[in-house]
Amino acid sequence: MKRREFLTAASAGVAASAAVAMPAIAQSAPEVKWRCTSSFPKSLDTIYGAAENMAKQVAEITDGKFQIQVFAAGEIVPGLQALDATTNKTVEMCHSASYYYVGKDPTFGMGTAIPFGFNARQINAWFLYGNGLTLLNEFYKKYGVVMFPGGNTGGQMGGWFRKEIKSVADLQGLKMRIAGMGGTVLSKLGAVPQQLAGGDIYPALEKGTIDAAEWVGPYDDERLGLYKVAQYYYFPGWWEGSAALNFFINQDKLAELPKTYRAALVTAMAQANESMLASYDAKNPVAIQSLVKAGTQLRRYPADVMDAAYKAAHQIYDETSAKNEDFKKIWEDMKAFRNNAYLWWQIVEFTYDDFMVRARTRG
């Protein structure tokens, strides 16, 4: 065969094979459109932004074939109904905080934070290299969803108060916005917990419907304007040594995804999970200084409040474990992992941080 005839035949063969291959490729990469409802308002760019970050990554990885549209709290359902919307397939997935749903079952608390639980690095270690995700997803299966880590706030502040808290007695009758099992502990200490979505906190505190409120930390709290309606800012947030956010995906919808799209989604969620904590760690130091300059009074919780809260929390865990097998199973695993993790923290992490804090103070 002459060279020109060979090239012509080869070109024809390539064209023919392309004509066959292109439809196959198109079929292997279908267009998929999902909706993700968030429990957070758009004004909270870091926490709301995690879902937007995830959706952007999914689109880029799949060359725009897999699109996830993110909706702020209230655009499809109220923020505290995000899980229900995912369970009943109103949406395919949501970005929320598991402990918003402790009213359904206290076991939900452990997917985000429980009083005197993990710090941010420890809960991620428990999720990914302990039994955390396995045990939690066994529980979430009852609600038709699968959970993936969706960010972390890091350690949180202990809330905004109109008056100083000098002892446990000052908590009596105090109405405080607080989520998760932290509210259960405060209730045991005499306070009256209220569960409100992030966007509803400022007006409730401004109108006096509540006396105190916790949200996240300096950066988000400043954006919500909480310093304008309460003067005293307490620490530490003992109910949230960290707060893990969660992506909940309807298990049927997840099973329907092509394998490559599922891989893209898991990768994007992991990136969003890591990015949120880094963002807060960069923004909170600047924001806390800004708040103090604006007149915020920082206060550390009195020792008797911390001790009473710790005792009450563990009493509640024992009581709940006695009547809730799901809670007991996860709590016992979590407690063992936490206690073991703090052995290491005590040796290196804490001693290094303690030295560096004192060195900075000395200048």
DSSP 209-225: S-SEE--S-HHHHHHHT
Distance in angstroms (rounded) separating the CA atoms of residues 234 and 216: 12
Please check whether residue 67 lies inside any domain of the structure. Answer: yes
* CATH code for position 252: 3.40.190.170
Residue 5 confidence (pLDDT): 41
Could you list the pLDDT tens digit for every one of the 363 residues in the chain?
433 343 333 333 433 333 334 334 345 689 999 999 999 999 999 999 999 999 999 999 999 999 999 999 999 999 999 999 999 999 999 999 999 999 999 999 999 999 999 999 999 999 999 999 999 999 999 999 999 999 999 999 999 999 999 999 999 999 999 988 999 999 999 999 998 888 899 999 999 999 999 999 999 999 999 999 999 999 999 999 999 999 999 999 999 999 999 999 999 999 999 999 999 999 999 999 999 999 999 999 999 999 999 999 999 999 999 999 999 999 999 999 999 999 999 999 999 999 999 999 998
CA distances in angstroms from 115 to 14, 65, 159, 185, 294, listed in the order given: 64, 42, 14, 8, 30
Please check whether residue 296 lies inside any domain of the structure. Answer: no
Residue 28 confidence (pLDDT): 65
Q: Which domain holds residue 256?
A: 31-152+242-281
Please check whether residue 231 lies inside any domain of the structure. Answer: no
Residue 27 confidence (pLDDT): 52
Please check whether residue 298 lies inside any domain of the structure. Answer: no
Q: For tokens 């109103």, name the residue.
A: 90
Please check whether residue 301 lies inside any domain of the structure. Answer: no
Domain total in the chain: 1
160 near 226, Cβ under 8 Å?
yes
Distance in angstroms (rounded) separating the CA atoms of residues 41 and 267: 24
Please check whether residue 116 lies inside any domain of the structure. Answer: yes
Could you tell me how far CA 173 lies from the centroid of its own chain? 29
Q: What is the DSSP letter of 324?
A: -
Please check whether residue 316 lies inside any domain of the structure. Answer: no
Distance in angstroms (rounded) separating the CA atoms of residues 109 and 101: 7
Please check whether residue 251 lies inside any domain of the structure. Answer: yes
pTM value is: 0.89
